[in-house]
Amino acid sequence: MINTQLAGALEPPWGGGVSPFAVSWQKLMMWLFIIGDALLFAGFLAGYGFVRLANPTWPNQFEVFHIEFIGLMTFVLITSSATMATAVGGAKVGNRQQVLRFLGLTILGGLAFLGMQVYEWSTLIGAGAGLTSNPWGVPQFGAAFFVITGFHGTHVFTGVLILTITAIRFVRGRTRFEGVELAGLYWHFVDLVWVFIFTLFYLI
């Protein structure tokens, strides 16, 4: 009788099985992190949308930025996402050389993007732009630019660190397919956020 009650109490209330999303807990946690992080950028971009709507004018992006250069930054980041996906593909089939070569290329892509962002920031700062003022007449423009691209750049920098650690762990045999896949998820997310920033901030 007591055993039957115990067995009943120990039965999980969830009837959908042990893995309702059919992914490992590490991957599920990464997805939950990505959802939370996406909302951080959603907040920034919603705030940016607010100041765009509240201002009768907004600086012409073609006058402030070299859009072709921003296009090149986009090309570098998209390419680094493709190399990352190729590294994950290599890890899936156990091709060690492919993993390391393409992880290396992804890290290089991330560093190139960061270098270009440093150039872009220094050009704007040199022109007199700051968080509270800028030469183009709308003070919120500088705040939106530095906060949004600054947070994104920090994510790229963190991504480069994560990829480097993943590569070292992979060489030492401390991580296999899943470690590379999780690092890849984060990297693609950083690329995904740039797709929104590029369109909403630089093009529209």
Nearer to another protein, 49 or 115 (CB): 49
Residues 6 or more apart whose Cβ sits within 8 Å of residue 194 = 74, 77, 152
- Which of 33, 65, 82, 123 binds another protein (CB under 8 A)? It is 82
Asked if 89 is part of the footprint of another protein (rule: CB under 8 A), the reply reads yes
Asked if 79 is part of the footprint of another protein (rule: CB under 8 A), the reply reads yes
Nearer to another protein, 84 or 124 (CB): 84
What number of other Cβ atoms are within 10 A of residue 58's Cβ? 16
Asked if 188 is part of the footprint of another protein (rule: CB under 8 A), the reply reads yes
In order of 43, 108, 115, 141, 143, the CA distances from 81 in angstroms are: 24, 12, 17, 29, 28
Asked if 52 is part of the footprint of another protein (rule: CB under 8 A), the reply reads yes
Q: Of 78, 65, 59, nearest to 149 (Cα)? A: 65
CA angle 103, 109, 113 (to 5 degrees): 145
Which residues of the chain form contacts with another protein (CB under 8 A)? 20-23, 28, 31, 34-35, 38-39, 42-43, 45-47, 49-56, 67, 71, 74-75, 78-79, 81-82, 84-86, 89, 92, 184-185, 188-189, 191-192, 195-196, 198-200, 203-204
